[in-house]
Chains A and B, each alone.
Chain A
Amino acid sequence: MELETALQSAETLLQPLAVEIKRPEPERVDVYITLENLKPAVQTLVDAHWGYLAAITGVDKPAPAVAGAAPDGDVEVLYTFANGGALATLRVRAPYTDAQIPTICDIIPAATLFERELIEMLGVDCIGTPDRGHLILPDEWPEGVYPLRKSFTGLNQE
């Protein structure tokens, strides 16, 4: 089946770079990788013409915090590539304490809009991204406030 071959080829391509590979759904393969391997993994997929970048999703995962202590969680970023019906997701984790990931805009220029949203909504910096302007937040939005983080419950100013 074409779906299976596509998924297999993604697995083979990413095997050397992956920490772990899972199949959560019939059409999906999840590849857990470290931050250093993000760009090589993206490059591998692009060189093999394995589909196109469908989305960059950020998921906030705050650790259960002790009252008063600084949150010690991280943000998981998912890079989903779609090839026909098959979906391959690269998963990296960026800890709150060092919320930075390398940009993939030099490999996929169209990713800039997704990265802009990630930067402003979840506070994960993409090093080297060409445009850091606000995508959907207003210009007067206060610095350092990231609406999609669980810790954000509303703007209390004014």
Chain B
Amino acid sequence: MENPESPQKFVVPIGPQHPALKEPAHFEFSVDGEIVTGASVRLGYVHRGIEKAAEARNYPQGLYLVERVCGICSHVHALSFALGTEKLAKVVAPPRAQAIRVLTSELERLHSHMLWLGVAAHEGGFDTLFMYSWRDRETVMDLLEQMTGNRVNYSINIIGGVKQDVSDEIKTAILKGMDFLEGRMTHYLTVVTTDETFLGRTRDVGVMTREQAETLGPVGPTARASGVPIDVRVDSPYAGYVDFPVNLIVDDGCDLLARFVVRIKEMQESIRLIREILDHLPEGELAVRVPRRIPENEIIQRVEAPRGELFYYMKSNGTDMPERVKIRTPSLCNWASVINLAPGYKLADMPMILAGIDPCFSCNDR
């Protein structure tokens, strides 16, 4: 292993510009033929200094700012910031607002997982699945646009509640969309678990046992696919999840296939939850007044983004601008799993292993 007679090592760089990556990052895989022997990652290509910028803006401005940390999971960032500020100010948003927040979170989870399904299929060369899942994703995007006015960056949160209400037409439209998507989810689950060529690319690839998962510290579907039962919505329910609980989806497969299965089942769970929320949407106000200056306080708010646990630490100092906003995104926790698991697999599996953790580079870099 040490001191090879003739250096067989060959470094294949992936990124910052690469068709496999949707955002810039730099990976270096040392390969020996087709087998990967080492991996390293360099992040930071989209660092925008959002944490620092939040300290120079007041809370409502900060809400818009953190929404733009990521395009795919923008709502959970804003949700976490809003919930955190409300905690700092010791107010609670009304139940209808909390329910609408959860509704949007679950719709976002649907669109994010479908986006991921398509991208992961594309990485595996299965373009047909890519096209179909993105076609179905349009259903969710149209619903979100109808509900909030925007396909991305919904901006439905305000400090103290939500901005938009869910009218009866929107309710009917969402329920119809859910009926359609439910059939599609069953179909995708069948495809992913029974298509032979697809299984050949995902079964026993990127295996991370439960012990490894507990040491390496991944969160979200990546951890749940290795049997680790962590989910902020279940462990520490926030917003509407107190009234509308979620079932924990765990799989023991530990490989890439398990990650696919977990996410598709989560989508089915989201559909169920959306229907339940719409059936029992509580009446009431949409928002509550929050003072402009927030007294000195310090809180931690955790939220379940589509990729895993999102951690916000916020500190106020009596003015209308936060003292410190710390954002720890789920993708940051999941990197260790890729870097440590990559050696031993083939180069052709690298894009799929990377895609398996659903990396969001904008989230990492902030």
Contact = CB atoms under 8 A, between A and B. Distances in A.
A–B in direct contact per CB < 8 Å: yes
Q: How large is the interface on A (under 10, 10 to 19, 20 to 34, 35 or more residues)?
A: 20 to 34
Nearest to B335: A113
B300 A110 contact: no
Given A53-B217, A84-B235, A136-B364, A113 B336 contact: yes
* Interface residues of A, dominant DSSP: mixed
Given A89-B300, A148-B51, A57 B364 contact: no
A147 interface: yes
Interface string B189-233: 000000000000000000000000011110000000000001000
Contacts of A55: 311, 313, 326, 328
B49 interface: yes
B348 interface: no
A59 B324 contact: yes
A137 B313 contact: no
Interface in A56-77: 57-60
A24 B333 CA distance: 26
A136 B365 contact: yes
A57 B313 contact: yes
Q: Which of B52, B364, B366 has most chain A Cβ within 10 Å? A: B52
Interface in A69-101: 78, 80, 82, 84-85, 87, 89
B236 A113 contact: no
B300 A148 contact: no
Given A85-B235, A138-B44, A108 B217 contact: yes
B309 interface: yes
B112 to A, nearest CB: 21
Interface residues of B, number: 35
B47 interface: yes
Contacts of B323: 59
B366 A54 contact: no
A113 B337 CA distance: 12
A52 B44 contact: no
A152 B236 CA distance: 36
A78 B364 contact: no
Contacts of A133: 42
B311 A80 contact: yes
A92 to B, nearest CB: 15
B91 interface: no
B298 interface: yes
Contact of A147 (B52, B235, B326): B52
A135 interface: yes
Interface string B254-296: 0000000000000000000000000000000000000000000
Interface in B327-366: 328, 332-333, 335-336, 364-366
Question: Closest 4 CB pairs between A and B?
Answer: A85-B236, A110-B217, A136-B44, A55-B328
Interface of B: 42-44, 47, 49, 51-52, 87, 214-217, 230, 235-237, 298-300, 302, 309, 311, 313, 315, 323-324, 326, 328, 332-333, 335-336, 364-366
Interface of A: 24-25, 27-28, 52-55, 57-60, 78, 80, 82, 84-85, 87, 89, 108-110, 112-114, 133-138, 147-148, 152
23 contacts: A52-B217, A55-B313, A55-B328, A59-B324, A80-B300, A80-B311, A82-B302, A84-B235, A85-B235, A85-B236, A108-B215, A108-B217, A109-B215, A110-B217, A110-B336, A112-B336, A113-B336, A134-B44, A135-B44, A136-B43, A137-B47, A138-B44, A147-B49
